[in-house]
Chains A and B, each alone.
Chain A
């Protein structure tokens, strides 16, 4: 039994200790630390950029909402003007033609 177990144990200790010594050597040498620090710094900078972008996006969305409300008001005014123009046109085209007084009244009663 010993003849079988001892080589297996030697192999296990050798492989696992050998495998463990690789990251230990890397840890002692400090390999890759600079890159991790760099990434952490970049992470902080990018977080600031994302915050700034989010703020700007919110402002742009608010502005777009205000523009939409204004556009609705303008459309309503344009529709009212078109209706009035149509009414005056109908009056002018009438047969018999309207009197000057009637036309004055249709455009608001001013000379």
Chain B
């Protein structure tokens, strides 16, 4: 009998560079907005959002980036890492989609590119969150990650 070959695929890295770097940027930017180290959040947001919501937005940027980045580089249990990544992806979609909407509301089609990039980033975060959700479901349902 011929032996059925077992294909083993080893992933070189489970981290997504684009996502990790955008989380890093979120942390840096969120930190500067929260601590008032820079000129503050983008003009469109300042024009549209009330101060309390602007503060919430800045904190959401910082927290989402921090959670996502921690999940990306969590070295211990894989389930904790995946759940933190899921949390980070869902949370990161919040400030991105808020900025997208505010930019469109403030500048219209002039802000198409900047708002589009943020909107696409928010959509990508939600897409990634759906993928992570499926992976977590499989993992807790009895599958093994290779």
Contacts and interface: CB of A to CB of B under 8 A. Distances in A.
Interface stretch (A34-42, A77-85, A97-105): A34-42
A10 B53 contact: yes
A39 B144 contact: yes
A57 interface: yes
Given A6-B48, A13-B94, A27 B105 contact: no
B78 interface: yes
B91 A1 contact: no
Nearest to B1: A61
B144 A16 contact: no
Contacts of A20: 64, 67, 86-91, 94
Contacts of B53: 6, 9-10, 13
A30 B84 CA distance: 11
- The B interface, classified by DSSP as helix, strand, loop or mixed, is helix
B56 A36 contact: no
Range of interface residues on A (Cβ < 8 Å): 20 to 34
A23 B101 contact: no
Nearest to B95: A13
Interface residues of B, number: 38
A23 B94 contact: no
Nearest to B4: A54
Contacts of B1: 57-58, 61
A108 interface: no
Given A9-B102, A27-B83, A39-B143, 7 more contacts: A2-B48, A5-B48, A6-B48, A13-B53, A13-B94, A13-B98, A54-B3
Interface of B: 1, 3, 48-50, 53, 56-57, 60, 64, 67, 71, 77-80, 83-84, 86-91, 93-95, 97-98, 101-102, 105, 136, 139-140, 142-144
* Closest 9 pairs between A and B when the two form their complex, measured CB to CB: A20-B90, A27-B83, A16-B94, A20-B91, A24-B87, A23-B83, A43-B144, A23-B86, A20-B87
